[in-house]
Amino acid sequence: MYPEQAPNPPAQRAVEVHQPTPLPPVVPALAQVVPVQPGTVPAVASIVLPDGRVVTGYAINPAQPEPVAAKPAVSRTAVNVALGGAGFLAVCGGLVLLTSFIAALTAFITQLITLAAVIFGGWIAVQIFSASGHRGGTTVNIRKAVIKRNHFRS
């Protein structure tokens, strides 16, 4: 609130007086300080107060926090080595699966061939051993060259 807008005159308000606290003298550092001219001249700001006074000074930039240490980027070589290793393991696993599949397929085909040989051999054995007891089929007598079905006689 500005003084001219206050309901009570300024003389009636209580005034507190603050005395500045003196600072102890600064002990000079061991290293010698060399004054350095700033690279750019900072801008001067002027503010006009409501009572007409002008305050001039330098603008104070807010303190910037220290930047967080950036993590080092992962090198392309490390990424390529990792991907190559994963690809190599995938190929090795695929070859192991392919090898086991081929072995299982070979065993299955071998069992099918064995089964076919047993069935076909049994069928031939039945034909041979049952031909002597059963006379109703084609008769072939090679010594006399008699084939009844074709009526071939010599």
- Name the band, by pLDDT with cuts 50, 70 and 90, for residue 148: low
The pLDDT of 114-137, averaged and rounded, is 79
Q: Is the dihedral of CA 109, 115, 118, 124 positive or negative?
A: negative
* CA separation for the pair 116, 123 (Å, rounded): 10
* pLDDT greater than 80 at residue 99: yes
Write the DSSP string, 50-64. Answer: TTS-EEEEEPPPPPP
Reduced to 3 states, what is the DSSP secondary structure of residue 147? strand
Q: What is the pLDDT of residue 113?
A: 96
Structure tokens at 74: 């992962």
> Is-above-0.95 flag for pTM?
no
Give 43's contacts (C-beta < 8 A, 6+ positions apart): 58, 59
* pLDDT greater than 90 at residue 53: no
The pLDDT of 21-35, averaged and rounded, is 66
